[in-house]
Structure 1
């Protein structure tokens, strides 16, 4: 790369490797002096931003490239970029006056659905989807952690469901072998963590299922977008369970904007009164309306959501009252213990004399708490133990309740499990 007749045309290097290798940087300077370094492309450029969903600290080192090689054009590429992240990336890379080209965000051939995942029977639900709804079709099932990937894979095998397994702790040769099997359709379904992402471009993926709540809308959009790249009808299904919020939040709260990102995908998952595609378009600052419509290609617009409108003001006040009593009595409440108290169970001091009246049950009570959490009336407080991180729910005293939270109102509660 440092001789004029070099046959090298493309060099691939990670930001992490670039930062550590002064020898490579020295050779890059020599190549630049010879007129051989003419273009810099940065893939997954959203990783530069601390506001992004997948921030990698060593991407910040790329800021030196414009300073060291001011005449070398820079191109950044990403599938997921919000307005705030774009602004941050421009500043970080020292390219404030760069041109921005955006492709349409909407994937009209993907049908977006959210299903409530039962606390028990979640494996049966997934098994039914794989063997009935998507029998003999190519797809990906994303899970959040390596442990859950291995557990889910084993459970599906026990039910006779054939699937592959892919995660970052597998040997490189084993990952490559599994990728090849899936690509050649020796196996149709792969259970994977987010490690199954780079270079995945199989055209005929008919479905992507998120078995766990992703950390962000960005992650969700990027992963679900691996379906239907041949333009044929495909599906994105997110299995949503109230408990998943707190499993993810205990991992995300240490990340900058981690909780904000999480609550946006929770908003997407728990919403029953807005088009899924419109939500995604708005999140990324896209244009929606006019010629860009859903055309009944999400569960809300096609009318398949089973929901019921309920008056929630009194129940919401009771949630806040229980949390207030908990603080007064110095009792920490997890989400599970809060629901127990609202159902008339749990510690005597916090339990109601009688539980919330019908039709309030654990499912719709959990969705009400989700709404209060998203709206900021309650918040999570994280505590460390020697073995884990625990999320407790607290009143958010810094937020003044909005009028609609005080006066009688109705709120849609979803019961969709199909």
Structure 2
């Protein structure tokens, strides 16, 4: 393995955790890897394909991958290293598919024994093709019966879990792989998985006594920030364009919908930014052309939906801006992680407006009824909103991924986040909300649910009604909307959903904790201490402010302070009991 690491992959040594993961899969153990993007997860199933007795038995490594573009990229990289790899997709020429199927099945070709390719092989396939293609299953069955199916690798394994941010039902059908090939080791890998997602994914894959290698999700090279998003679209576009013009390198802007990517890209273009839209509604040729112009520095900015995600192979992205709230903190971490993959300083900026929560929550609901999957999607959305309204951004990410014990070591100081005081290395906490304001906000919701004309309120309607009360009159409408969202995030309010023929509508109601705060002063006081003052949101900087600071003499001009700590890829390993 060490020789192959050097001669094929050009690496002098393993990262701390890679050797253990490679040894475990070579020993026939099931392995689950959680490591940041660019952390070297793919090496842990590519390298084993070359060692042990793989060459002697022409071993097959099956790699399940969610995107054809990502499969093709990895196959090209492996071919450049002299390795034998195939991507089975509609884009693969028929002749190449035939060669792959015959090799998987161990069937001889017309070449002489001297000319025959007997190298071990990696075969990449999407979960959809694996489910629908009898030819793929037939070839795998033959390889398995001949003892040549060395291992199965499942990339982006968080797609298995309903608790993840990118749940895909087709991934659930991968559970049959254990039934079909009971003694073949499985290696699953992802960059984004909480302990709950890992446990769920391990069970769904029926992994036996899996060794889980966890590595810190901390991306020390990324400085995190949240800015206030202006309500006016033109004002926001002007601020965004001003920020981009201060950056000397390429970046990504994530938007909510296809229409938004087109609209925002057009606004940026009219303001002198070389920008292009990228979304799933474009043809494959259009998407590939836009991607290549961006990769080759002909376009500075891609305005994209989350379709512009997996498979991006550009290490020098210096900034990622989310023009709207992401649907989950897991998703935000992964999308913002497109920046700084070369290990050099980068920026990740979330543009937050409280009304985005009201906009997103009906979209993440699949019906008007809350089942386990919908409740998970809703909590994922709230986690991202809490990140925007909480303290240290890096600390919020570490807590979300169950790494709270690393907060004291990794948070604060240069290149941490916009909240941390770089002089004292301490986090600046937002002031708490006034209890009388909280009481009036809860009263608005309680009053709407009483009497014969009881009618639930949306966040927008609740903000209008609070504006009629003495405490609410002192606040702008964005601040009042922020208060109701903060009460929702604090657990004092809950959202209920009503489905119509055309849409799903979200309404606010009191939770049990909110009801207790209405009745008891002590509960109200405790709640008020947990809710940040909404004025802190209104006073927070916008992209326009950030651009002005960056462009001043002594500003960063797109460069960030040098990281004092290098990104670490140490981690822990644990054994997971077999699924029940």
Contact 1:83 1:285 in 2 (8 A): yes
2:367 corresponds to 1:250: no
Q: 1:319 aligns with which of 419, 422, 441?
A: 441
Aligned residue in 2 for 1:283: 400
1:45-66 CA-to-partner distances (Å, cap 9, x unmatched) read 0111121111111111111111
Classify the secondary structure of the residue corresponding to 1:280: helix
Larger radius of gyration: 2
Pair 316,303 (structure 1): closer, same or farther in 2 beyond 3 Å? farther
Aligned residue in 2 for 1:137: 249
Aligned residue in 2 for 1:260: 379
1:166-181 map, 5 Å: 166-181=278-293
Q: More helix per residue: 1 or 2?
A: 2
Pair 70,371 (structure 1): closer, same or farther in 2 beyond 3 Å? same
Aligned residue in 1 for 2:507: 392
1:204-263 CA-to-partner distances (Å, cap 9, x unmatched) read 101000001110011000010110111111100000011111111111122531101000
Pair 17,407 (structure 1): closer, same or farther in 2 beyond 3 Å? same
1:174-213 map, 5 Å: 174-213=286-325
Aligned residue in 1 for 2:465: 341
| TM-score in terms of structure 2 length | 0.66
| TM-score in terms of structure 1 length | 0.91
Find the aligned partners of 1:116 and 1:223 in 2 and give their Cα distance.
19
Find the aligned partners of 1:155 and 1:384 in 2 and give their Cα distance.
34
Aligned residue in 1 for 2:347: 235
Classify the secondary structure of the residue corresponding to 1:75: strand
Aligned residue in 2 for 1:369: 484
Pair 306,281 (structure 1): closer, same or farther in 2 beyond 3 Å? closer
Aligned residue in 2 for 1:302: 421
**How far apart are 1:303 and its partner, in Å?**
6.3
Aligned residue in 2 for 1:356: 472
Find the aligned partners of 1:308 and 1:103 in 2 and give their Cα distance.
31
**How far apart are 1:177 and its partner, in Å?**
0.8
Find the aligned partners of 1:262 and 1:377 in 2 and give their Cα distance.
17
How many pairs were matched up? 405
Aligned Cα root-mean-square deviation (Å): 2.2
Contact 2:273 2:300 in 1 (8 A): no
Contact 1:110 1:234 in 2 (8 A): yes
Classify the secondary structure of the residue corresponding to 1:38: strand
**How far apart are 1:25 and its partner, in Å?**
0.9
Structure 2 unaligned spans of 5+: 1-103, 109-116, 367-372, 543-580
1:138-159 CA-to-partner distances (Å, cap 9, x unmatched) read 1000112112111211222232
Classify the secondary structure of the residue corresponding to 2:174: helix
Contact 2:436 2:471 in 1 (8 A): no
Aligned residue in 2 for 1:87: 199
Aligned residue in 2 for 1:2: 105
**How far apart are 1:310 and its partner, in Å?**
5.1
Find the aligned partners of 1:270 and 1:96 in 2 and give their Cα distance.
41
Find the aligned partners of 2:176 and 2:214 in 1 and give their Cα distance.
26
More relative contact order, 1 or 2 (CA 8 Å, 6+ apart)? 2
Aligned residue in 1 for 2:185: 73
1:180-204 CA-to-partner distances (Å, cap 9, x unmatched) read 1111111111001111112113111
Classify the secondary structure of the residue corresponding to 2:406: coil
